[in-house]
């Protein structure tokens, strides 16, 4: 079903190699937006805002899951079930680029429509908790423009790091599979 929804036009060879990465970049962005809706619904942006800094890190679980599923699909569809480090890592980098391109738009949706009072709530709390000395310092950090920039940079950094870890794991699985295959063939 998702393949039908996320079928991008294949006009060039380069575009064909990016289809899966674009699909999973869009899926990642949608998962992130749904996560923001959940955070807002659970009160992490208002009544439980003091716990938000820690609770929001739980997003790593669905974020990693999306990358694992994306890289698994790429491995199965493009590399016949076996992938080396470079292939897996480049897949993750491409997904990260797509997510980074979509990040300002998703941050805008989050800040304007999903949780429009977040900045208004977090600015005084951050001063009260001692993270910033003045409201002006907090306002310089907690604003849409700064969060858009952070979302792009964060998508690239976290995507590449996550991709490197997953690629390393997949590489060792690939090497083990090749080693096992060699042992079986030798018998």
**pLDDT tens readout for residues 88-117:** 999 999 999 999 999 999 999 999 999 999
Predicted pLDDT at 33:
98
Torsional class of 12: left (φ above 0), alpha (ψ -120 to 50), beta (otherwise): beta
Structural domain including 39 reads 17-186
Local structure of 134: helix, strand or coil: coil
- Mean pLDDT, the chain, rounded, equals 89
**Residue 12 located in a structural domain:** no
Global pTM? 0.85
Number of folded domains that form the chain:
1
**Residue 2 located in a structural domain:** no
Is residue 98 within 8 A of residue 22, CB to CB? The reply is yes
**Residue 106 located in a structural domain:** yes
């Amino acid at each position: 079903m998702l393949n039908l929804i996320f079928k991008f036009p294949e006009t060039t060879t380069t575009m064909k190699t990016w289809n899966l990465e674009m699909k999973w970049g869009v899926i990642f962005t949608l998962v992130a937006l749904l996560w923001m809706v959940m955070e807002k619904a659970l009160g992490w942006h208002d009544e439980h805002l003091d716990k938000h800094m820690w609770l929001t890190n739980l997003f790593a679980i669905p974020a990693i899951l999306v990358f694992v599923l994306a890289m698994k699909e790429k491995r199965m569809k493009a590399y016949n079930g076996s992938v080396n480090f470079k292939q897996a890592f480049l897949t993750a980098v491409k997904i990260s680029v797509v997510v980074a391109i979509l990040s300002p738009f998703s941050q805008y949706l989050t800040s304007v429509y999903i949780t429009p009072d977040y900045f208004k709530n977090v600015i005084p709390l951050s001063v009260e908790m001692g993270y910033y000395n003045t409201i002006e310092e907090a306002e310089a950090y907690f604003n849409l423009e700064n969060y858009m920039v952070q979302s792009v940079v964060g998508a690239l950094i976290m995507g590449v790091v996550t991709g490197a870890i997953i690629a390393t794991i997949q590489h060792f699985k690939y090497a083990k599979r090749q080693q096992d295959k060699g042992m079986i063939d030798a018998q």
